[in-house]
C-alpha cells in the first residue's frame, strides 16, 4: 500500500511546518512501513540550525519517525475511520550521521510490540544506503 500527502493528513493531525512525512511508499500492516521525507534547503528550521552549516535537528528526525510509526499503528491495529490523539512516550535513539539539505530520508518502521492502544516500534532512517538514525519509540493513542 502507498499513501500520498493528502491521505497522510487524514490520519495524523500535523500540518506545515510540522508535518514531516512526504509520502508512504510501502505499507504492510503488522509487518513494515517505509516513508519518505525530502529534506529541502527551504526547511524553516535551517534558518537557525545552523546558518553556516545546515543540519536537520535530530529531534525532528525522531518526530518524522514517530509520525510514520503512528500511521503504521493506525493500519496495523485497524483503526481506519477513527479520530485519534497520539501521545509520544519513551524514545531511545542513536544518531550516526548528519542529515543536510538535499538529502532524502527513508524511514523504515517495524513492530516491536503492540498492546491495545500502545505501540512500540523499531525505526531506522537512511540517506541512500547509509543508516543515519535508529530509534525505539513508544507511543499510545486515544479516541477523541
Q: For the purposes of burial, counting CB atoms within 10 Å of the CB of 113, is it exposed (0-12), middle (13-18) or buried (19 or more)?
A: exposed
pLDDT averaged over every residue in the chain: 94
Unique residue bearing C-alpha cell 481506519? 80
Predicted TM-score (pTM) of this structure: 0.94
| Closest to 71 (Cα-Cα) out of 112, 113, 26 | 26
Is the per-residue pLDDT at 31 higher than 90? yes
* Phi, psi (rounded to 5 degrees) for 118: -120, 140
What percent of the chain clears pLDDT 90, i.e. is strictly above it? 81
Catalytic residues: 49
Name the helix (H) or strand (E) containing 136: strand 130-143
pLDDT band at residue 85 under the 50/70/90 scheme: confident
pLDDT digits (tens, 9 = 90+) for 42-81: 999 998 988 899 999 999 999 999 999 999 999 999 988 8
- For 23, half-sphere exposure in the C-beta direction (CA atoms, 13 angstrom radius) is 8
Question: Hey, what domains does the chain have and what are their CATH numbers?
Answer: 5-143 (3.10.129.10)
Amino acid at each position: 500500500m502507498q499513501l500520498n500527502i493528502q491521505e497522510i493528513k487524514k490520519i495524523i493531525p500535523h500540518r506545515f511546518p510540522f508535518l514531516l512525512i512526504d509520502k508512504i511508499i510501502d505499507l504492510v500492516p503488522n509487518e513494515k512501513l517505509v516513508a519518505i521525507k525530502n529534506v529541502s534547503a527551504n526547511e524553516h528550521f535551517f534558518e537557525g540550525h545552523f546558518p553556516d552549516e545546515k543540519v536537520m535537528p535530530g529531534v525532528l528526525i525522531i518526530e518524522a519517525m514517530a509520525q510514520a510509526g503512528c500511521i503504521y499503528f493506525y493500519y496495523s491495529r485497524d483503526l481506519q475511520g477513527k479520530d485519534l490523539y497520539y501521545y509520544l512516550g519513551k524514545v531511545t535513539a542513536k544518531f550516526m550521521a548528519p542529515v543536510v539539505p538535499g538529502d532524502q530520508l527513508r524511514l523504515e518502521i517495524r513492530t516491536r510490540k503492540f498492546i491495545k492502544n500502545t505501540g512500540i516500534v523499531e525505526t531506522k532512517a537512511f540517506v541512500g544506503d547509509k543508516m543515519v538514525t535508529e530509534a525505539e519509540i513508544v507511543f499510545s493513542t486515544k479516541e477523541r
